[in-house]
Amino acid sequence: MKKVTLLNVQLDNFTKSELLEELRFGGVVFTTNVDHLSKLQDSPEFCRAYNSATYRICDSQILIYASQFLGVPIQEKISGSDLLPAFYHYYKNDENIKIFLLGSAGGIADQARKQINAKVGREMVVGAYSPSFGFEKNEEECQYIVNLINQSGATVLAVGVGAPKQEKWIYQHKLQLKNVRVFLAVGATIDFEAGYCKRSPKWMRERGLEWFYRLLSEPRRLWKRYLVDDVPVCWLILKQKLNFYRIPDYVGAVRHDHLPSMPIGQMLQGAGLLSQNQVETILLDQTKQRHLRFGEILAQRGWLKQETSDFFAEQLPKLATKPQKQPIGYYLKSAALLNENQVSTILNELAVLPP
């Protein structure tokens, strides 16, 4: 599927029906808007989470206009608030699709659960939870949420806690969610589904004015986002058109298309960390779990730590082009191949060896 590059993000140029069919095989979906592009210019952590997504789709009529301006038109705007209802209607007769809603203020997610189940005529939404403010920094609550989702039997997780919080939470916890195959970052969608908030009129959405409607609805919360933080994106799009835009320096360390040409499986096999059979098994797993990266499946199977595959995929290529600034033990610890005690033991043994 052709991709469209807007600044430092590659968007999948899907129609809604194409995306819905693709999700039959699983996947992580982030819905890109102007605010996301703004945040991605100076947030390595957000960028790392963003590039882990299986699909990045356009959630902004303004970005549709931007793509047309750049000469690479995006086929269709697919917002989170359009995607979730389209998804549950598309799969309403598939008993394997069980949704968990995570987001919104107290009681709203559960109200959305009831509304959706009434629309589809079955208990499709099997659980809902409204987290506390700042929950993402509370390990105990995060683990409680993980357990709640796992116990529910959900195969689909829709997270609506705002960007970049929702994308980073999915990135950090998806490996713990054993049954979930589809992850949707959906913003304010849960509020809309519960009837707690109203969406802008269709004519405003079609003309790229949904942001203005939301600004009028919540001026104290959103004025800075829309009138200050997001405005520079227009200038950056113009720079891209004129070939003056430069991807932020940190992006090279986290973007998949900046990784080495050698496949990660081949690198790990060459280092003696995986066998050929293990590599082939992981590649087969990927055909069934398309939302997981090679290293994530390795960690899931317990064959290698996530830190090890991340080191080979992200840090090792940089070391090949830049001089080492740290002792070898530092890098072995970074790759989770040795711990601090093991490094100390080796150094002590080296110290007593004859010159």
CA distance 38 to 49: 15
**In-domain check, residue 134:** yes
Asked if 52 contacts 28 with a C-beta cutoff of 8 angstroms, the reply is: yes
DSSP annotation of 174: G
CA distance 333 to 199: 50
303 with 195, same domain: the answer is no
Residue 164: is the preceding peptide bond cis (ω within 30°)? Answer: yes
**In-domain check, residue 252:** no
Domain enclosing residue 40, as ranges:
3-241
Beta strands 182-185; 156-160: pairing state? parallel
Beta strands 182-185; 125-129: pairing state? unpaired
**In-domain check, residue 255:** no
CA distance 216 to 140: 37
Which residues are CB-neighbours of 131 under 8 A, at least 6 positions away? Answer: 102, 103, 141, 145, 161
112 with 226, same domain: the answer is yes
Number of domains in the chain: 2
Tokens of 25: 């095989």
Q: What is the pLDDT along the chain (355 residues), one digit of tens a residue?
A: 589 999 999 999 999 999 999 999 899 999 999 999 999 999 999 999 998 899 999 999 999 999 999 999 999 999 999 999 999 999 999 999 999 999 998 899 999 999 999 999 999 999 999 999 999 999 999 999 999 999 999 999 999 999 999 999 999 999 899 899 999 999 999 999 999 988 889 888 888 888 888 888 889 888 898 888 899 999 999 999 999 999 887 665 555 444 444 677 777 877 778 887 788 788 888 777 776 778 888 888 888 887 888 777 777 766 655 556 677 777 778 778 778 887 688 777 666 666 5
Q: Which of 179, 184, 150 is nearest to 289 (CA)?
A: 179
**Where among 193, 209, 241 does a domain terminate?**
241
Which sign does the torsion angle of CA 332, 338, 341, 344 carry? negative
Which pTM does this prediction carry?
Answer: 0.74
Tokens of 86: 């389209």
48 with 138, same domain: the answer is yes
Give me Rg for the CA atoms of the chain: 22
